[in-house]
Chain A
Amino acid sequence: MSLHIIQTEIMAMEKRRRLYSMACIVLIAAVLISGYGLANDLNSGGFLTGMQQFFDYPSEIVKEAWAAGFSFFLVMGRFVPALVETLNIAGAASIVGGALAVVLAFLGSANLGVNPPVVITIVRRIMDIMRAFPELILALFLIFILGSSPVPAMIAVAFHTAGALGKLFSEVNENADADPVEGLASCGATWLQRMRYGVLPQVLPNYLSYFMLRFEINVRASAILGFVGAGGIGMELRRTIGWGKGAGDETAALFMLLILSIFVIDQLSSFIRRRLVTGRDSE
């Protein structure tokens, strides 16, 4: 008898769960259908006409690039400085933001004996705000004040990086083993020394792994911010695209450079991250 009750209960639970799943799926489907409908209405060009024209632009620039022949590579070479500038924006932003993130993460971790504890709460709030702040807004604002230059993009990306990495770093810190820190405290080490020797060696591989991932994201962000006036490859793209027809080979060259560099950085970063992870496991 009781078995029967349990069975019906399980059946009912299963039914309810299935109902929830169904509701979820229906909801998502409804959001997608109505959303795409709405988006299609709000869009200046419709989906169907767009699909027909989808390959027009890529084929146009590919054709122009093909027509340019060997000189296409010269065009690519001409844009290398712009690419370097974009990479520098991302590199400097990652380093500055990463360094700031380390400081914030150590001050914002609950397990490291930060005194007074209210600092932890404040620092966490600051990190949340820095993370949520859209890069675009900061970049536009700084471009307005400082003028068109890579620096606004660098600052904007660094600001966001500090918040995003800070949060990830502090999560790593909070998973760190407390025993070494206590051991150092018992020797009379200062807070800074305890962090340097007790925590940093434990968390550094994870930090580096997150840092590489962030660098890759930042290269993309720097390229895209260039488009709103921050210099680098994005700014060149806006120029060549703004010219309309005729600059297709230049646009193609810029696309090519960007895709190649992102591909290389992507492979490099996943290679390094894999090594960091396996290196830890083997030792």
Chain B
Amino acid sequence: MKIAELTKTFGKITAVDTVSFSIDQPQMVGVIGPSGAGKSTMLRMINRLTDATQGSIRINDREILALTGREKRRWQRDCAMIFQQFNLVPRLNVVTNVLMGRLNGHSTIKSLFCVFGRHMVEEALAALDRLGIADQALQRAETLSGGQQQRVAIARALMQTPKMVLADEPIASLDPLSAEKVMNSLREIRDRDNLTVICNLHTLDTARTYCDRVIGMLEGRIVFDDLPEKLTPSVVRDIYGANEELNESVTSTAIFKPGVEPDSGQPTPALTPLAANG
């Protein structure tokens, strides 16, 4: 995937400013930056939820930004998206929410009457099972905890049989334990399904722990694009604004115990279960 000069303006404000980067092989990319840096807008443009003002996104010489109608929707299915607020349908049960991942290509009449084939239901259950929430399949989505809902959203993404997964602050509204589960699942999609995952994160340590590559954004521009190990305190200050008295813990959720050296590059004690599996 090759993104070139991608720009989005809202009136006078430039949310994303001539962003260019490319992804040549499946990898997990973390996008970090202060709020308002344009991270979300960028992901939304890749998924085509938001139209770009300028630029291009090309995959195998196919211009994604030029797609319309059926082809655009097909692309949206190929490029699954996960949201901070999960964006499930609260009043529908979990398995139906997962089945929504296949609405694209589902005939209108079948959609109107809620008709889904046996094999599709089984696929949905398998996806739920993979995320460890198959038991809740018939509960309404709104009765689940935040972490469970986010895993339903990931199951829906898997149901789309995507070629790429975008995650917009997937753990920002979650408690530490749920956040860890969600991040593990995303990493597993990268590893087991060999897909590219682009993940907006507001915590540096998560980016360091899970990502193969980190992109830092500030005021709509890319100011850092390298391996996570290269995120030195001075780089971080550049991304989050030099004049701010930056404390690593400010940008961190409490997944990881405070007081850990941010640039040690080593897994923290709290991460040992993960490391043991790794």
User: Interface of A with B (CB < 8 Å)?
Assistant: 177, 179-180, 182-190, 192-193, 196-198, 201-202, 283
Please tell me which one of the listed residues A185, A186, A190, A201 contacts residue B89 in the complex, with CB atoms under 8 A apart. Answer: A201
Binds A, one of B3-11, B80-88, B118-126, B224-232: B80-88
Q: Which residue of B lies closest to A205 (CB)?
A: B91
* Structural contact, B153 and A187, CB atoms closer than 8 A: no
Chain B interface bracket (under 10, 10 to 19, 20 to 34, 35 or more) = 20 to 34
Given contacts A187-B104, A187-B160, A188-B104, contact A179 B77 (CB under 8 A): no
Please tell me which one of the listed residues A182, A190, A192 contacts residue B87 in the complex, with CB atoms under 8 A apart. Answer: A182
Interface 1/0 per residue, B97-113 and A, CB below 8 Å:
00011011010100110
* Structural contact, A183 and B104, CB atoms closer than 8 A: no
* Structural contact, B108 and A197, CB atoms closer than 8 A: no
Cα A34 to Cα B48 in complex, Å, equals: 65
Cα A188 to Cα B68 in complex, Å, equals: 11
Given contacts A188-B103, A193-B111, A197-B100, contact A183 B77 (CB under 8 A): no
Query: Given the complex, which residues of A lie within 8 Å of B80, measured CB to CB?
Result: 186-187
Given contacts A187-B100, A193-B111, contact A283 B153 (CB under 8 A): no
Query: Given the complex, which residues of A lie within 8 Å of B88, measured CB to CB?
Result: 180, 183
Interface 1/0 per residue, B241-276 and A, CB below 8 Å:
000000000000000000000000000000000000
* Structural contact, A188 and B77, CB atoms closer than 8 A: yes
Interface residue B181 (Cβ < 8 Å from any Cβ of A): no
Interface residue B62 (Cβ < 8 Å from any Cβ of A): no
Please tell me which one of the listed residues B49, B91, B140 contacts residue A186 in the complex, with CB atoms under 8 A apart. Answer: B49
Q: Which residue of B lies closest to A189 (CB)?
A: B103
* Structural contact, A179 and B87, CB atoms closer than 8 A: yes
Given contacts A192-B111, A193-B106, contact A187 B92 (CB under 8 A): no
Chain B positions 38-84 with a Cβ under 8 Å from a chain A Cβ: 47, 49, 72-77, 80-81, 83
Cα A197 to Cα B89 in complex, Å, equals: 7
* Structural contact, A196 and B112, CB atoms closer than 8 A: yes
* Structural contact, A183 and B140, CB atoms closer than 8 A: no
Q: How far is the CB of B43 from chain A (nearest CB, A)?
A: 10
Q: How far is the CB of B182 from chain A (nearest CB, A)?
A: 16
Q: Which residue of B lies closest to A192 (CB)?
A: B108
Q: How far is the CB of A69 from chain B (nearest CB, A)?
A: 54
Q: How far is the CB of A248 from chain B (nearest CB, A)?
A: 53
- Choose among A184, A186, A192, A197 the residue with the greatest number of B CB atoms under 10 Å from its CB: A186
* Structural contact, A188 and B76, CB atoms closer than 8 A: yes
* Structural contact, B83 and A187, CB atoms closer than 8 A: no
Q: How far is the CB of A208 from chain B (nearest CB, A)?
A: 13
Q: How far is the CB of A82 from chain B (nearest CB, A)?
A: 37
Cβ-closest 6 pairs across A and B? A183-B87, A188-B104, A188-B76, A188-B73, A188-B77, A186-B81
Given contacts A183-B89, A201-B91, A202-B91, contact A196 B76 (CB under 8 A): no
Q: Which residue of B lies closest to A204 (CB)?
A: B91
* Structural contact, A190 and B108, CB atoms closer than 8 A: yes
* Structural contact, B47 and A186, CB atoms closer than 8 A: yes
* Structural contact, A189 and B89, CB atoms closer than 8 A: no
Given contacts A202-B91, A283-B143, contact A184 B100 (CB under 8 A): yes
* Structural contact, A182 and B111, CB atoms closer than 8 A: no
* Structural contact, A188 and B74, CB atoms closer than 8 A: yes
Q: Which residue of B lies closest to A181 (CB)?
A: B87
Given contacts A186-B80, A193-B103, A196-B112, contact A180 B49 (CB under 8 A): no
Q: A180-B89, A186-B47, A186-B87 are in contact. List 4 more A-B contacts (CB 8 A).
A: A183-B88, A188-B160, A189-B104, A197-B111
Cα A283 to Cα B156 in complex, Å, equals: 23
Q: How far is the CB of B88 from chain A (nearest CB, A)?
A: 6
- Choose among B73, B89, B140 the residue with the greatest number of A CB atoms under 10 Å from its CB: B89
Query: Given the complex, which residues of B lie within 8 Å of A183, measured CB to CB?
Result: 83, 86-89, 100, 153, 156
Cα A171 to Cα B106 in complex, Å, equals: 30
Query: Given the complex, which residues of B lie within 8 Å of A198, measured CB to CB?
Result: 89
Cα A50 to Cα B258 in complex, Å, equals: 86
Query: Given the complex, which residues of A lie within 8 Å of B36, measured CB to CB?
Result: none
Q: How far is the CB of A198 from chain B (nearest CB, A)?
A: 6
